[in-house]
């Protein structure tokens, strides 16, 4: 067959035409009368500011395209109140469908429900003095040590209830905790609800990938050692991982919705959510194409090999996000979440048209798990070939040829 001619190299003229089509950087003076959306679209043309603008545009597209939005929340951001300022309002407007977070975020969120305060403190005032005063520090936030001890009592009391005495996933655990805390909030007249109770009310599943790495689980350890066989709560991590894959499969295969992931800070919550896609495609042989929109906020440099800073392109090589997302549906905002996300939330929610009917993915969890199990059952014969391993000699490891003997 004749060879196809090589594509011609771009000319100076064609390159200049592409450049001329690029957006002109010419912001107008801020008067104080602009709408938030106008400010972010017109006054953020470069550097991290443009990353922030792109994040806003992709978050807005997530809503307009009716994506199933998976939010990941790392670290201890509830002490800083990010859930009250941003996450809960987004849930109430129907913009967040599923959450993956840390045990720390859910544990520290409960402090305020039982009457304790998180206060601004000086991070350089001296940790020896803080310890002497029994003040716990999270950088520039602090609270009494008694806050932890009373929160431990709260979770210990809740976890002893009959409905917790069985094996369950983190989704069911946090749903039941949210139900009980919602009842407590109503009895106490709490005006600012917790993340757990809000997710319960709106049927938003909450996963915690490293559930054993947090004080809620530390109290489970205490109860198991103290009460022995009468305490029957166990977390089924196998079913938990499967349920994450099932939730994502439900969104794109059953609901026929595109998927977006909003990643606040990286860490375990980020990977625990993203790994649902290779679980489906690579491990279970259930076709998927990855998340369609990928918005990340993180301070880590992207060249250190860490998962927290892994951009969408790198994630695409693992099958976690789609090719379309890499090309036009992703951004890595190199900034502290607490510095930029409240402003983006304000800009997004300032438009009263930005709201959706609540998807209530928690209510569909049983059907979602059953549907994915049926897909696995269809592939049992093929999957059976993936659980045996026979070592094969690689070409590079073949024995070298023997040298000819000298005469």
Q: Would you call 377 helix, strand, or coil by DSSP?
A: helix
For the segment 303-316, the average pLDDT, to the nearest whole number, is: 76
The contacts of residue 323 (CB under 8 Å, 6+ apart) are 289, 316
For residue 141, is it within any domain? no
- Model confidence at 398: pLDDT above 80: no
Share of the chain above pLDDT 70, in %: 95
For residue 219, is it within any domain? yes
The contacts of residue 358 (CB under 8 Å, 6+ apart) are 94, 202, 203, 204
**Model pLDDT, residue 348:** 96
Q: What is the pLDDT of residues 210-238, one digit of tens each?
A: 999 989 999 999 999 999 999 999 999 99
For residue 13, is it within any domain? no
In 189-320, alpha helices (H) = 195-202, 215-227, 237-249, 267-274, 276-278, 312-317
Looking at the structure of the chain, the number of domains it has is 1
**Model pLDDT, residue 232:** 98
Q: What is the pLDDT of residues 61-108, one digit of tens each?
A: 999 999 999 999 998 899 999 999 999 999 999 999 999 999 999 999
- Model confidence at 400: pLDDT above 60: no
For residue 402, is it within any domain? no
> For strand 119-120 and strand 293-298, is the pairing parallel, antiparallel, or unpaired?
unpaired
For residue 230, is it within any domain? yes
**Model pLDDT, residue 24:** 87
Average pLDDT over the chain reads 91
> What's 192's domain CATH number?
3.40.910.10
**Model pLDDT, residue 300:** 81
Could you tell me which residues are beta bridge partners of residue 332? 296
- Model confidence at 394: pLDDT above 80: no
Q: What is the pLDDT of residues 20-74, one digit of tens each?
A: 888 888 888 999 988 989 898 899 999 899 999 999 999 999 999 999 999 999 9
Q: How far is the C-alpha of 245 from the C-alpha of 277, rounded, in Å?
A: 7
For residue 21, is it within any domain? no
- Model confidence at 407: pLDDT above 50: no
For residue 96, is it within any domain? yes
For residue 134, is it within any domain? no
242 to 62, 181, 294: CA distances (angstroms)? 25, 27, 22
Confidence of residue 347 (pLDDT cuts 50, 70, 90): very high
Q: How far is the C-alpha of 68 from the C-alpha of 54, rounded, in Å?
A: 19
pTM score over 0.85 = yes
**Model pLDDT, residue 401:** 55
**Model pLDDT, residue 403:** 55
Q: How far is the C-alpha of 225 from the C-alpha of 235, rounded, in Å?
A: 16
Instruction: Find the domain containing 76 and state its range.
Output: 34-109+148-379
């Amino acid at each position: 067959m004749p060879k196809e001619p090589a594509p011609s190299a771009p000319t100076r003229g064609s390159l200049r035409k592409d450049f001329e089509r690029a957006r002109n950087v010419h912001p107008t003076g801020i008067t104080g009368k602009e709408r938030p959306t106008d400010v972010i679209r017109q006054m953020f043309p470069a550097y991290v500011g443009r990353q922030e603008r792109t994040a806003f545009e992709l978050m807005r597209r997530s809503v307009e395209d009716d994506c199933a939005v998976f939010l990941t929340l790392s670290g201890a951001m509830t002490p800083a109140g990010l859930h009250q300022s941003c996450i809960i309002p987004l849930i109430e407007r129907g913009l967040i469908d599923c959450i993956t977070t840390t045990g720390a975020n859910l544990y520290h969120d409960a402090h305020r429900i039982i009457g304790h305060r998180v206060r601004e403190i000086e991070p350089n005032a001296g940790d020896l003095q803080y310890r002497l005063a029994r003040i716990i520090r999270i950088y520039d936030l602090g609270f009494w040590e008694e806050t932890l001890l009373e929160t431990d009592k709260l979770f210990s009391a809740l976890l002893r209830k009959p409905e917790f005495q069985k094996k369950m996933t983190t989704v069911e655990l946090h749903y039941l905790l949210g139900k009980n805390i919602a009842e407590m909030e109503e009895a106490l007249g709490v005006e600012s609800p917790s993340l757990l109770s809000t997710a319960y009310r709106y049927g938003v599943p909450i996963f915690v990938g490293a559930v054993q790495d947090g004080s809620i689980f530390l109290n489970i350890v205490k109860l198991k050692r103290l009460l022995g066989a009468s305490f029957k709560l166990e977390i089924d991590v196998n079913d938990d991982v499967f349920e994450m894959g099932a939730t994502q499969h439900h969104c794109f295969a059953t609901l026929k919705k595109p998927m977006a992931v909003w990643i606040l800070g990286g860490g375990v919550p980020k990977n625990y959510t993203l790994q649902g896609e290779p679980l489906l495609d690579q491990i279970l042989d259930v076709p998927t194409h990855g998340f369609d929109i990928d918005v990340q906020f993180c301070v880590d440099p992207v060249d250190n090999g860490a998962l927290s800073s892994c951009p969408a392109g790198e994630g695409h090589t693992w099958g976690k996000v789609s090719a379309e997302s890499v090309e036009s549906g992703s951004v890595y905002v190199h900034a502290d979440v607490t510095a930029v996300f409240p402003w983006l939330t304000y800009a997004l929610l300032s438009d009263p048209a930005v709201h959706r009917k609540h998807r209530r993915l928690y209510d569909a969890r049983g059907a979602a798990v059953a549907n994915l199990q049926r897909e696995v059952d269809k592939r049992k014969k093929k999957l059976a070939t993936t659980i045996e391993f026979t070592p094969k000699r690689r070409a590079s490891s073949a024995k070298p040829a023997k040298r000819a003997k000298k005469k």
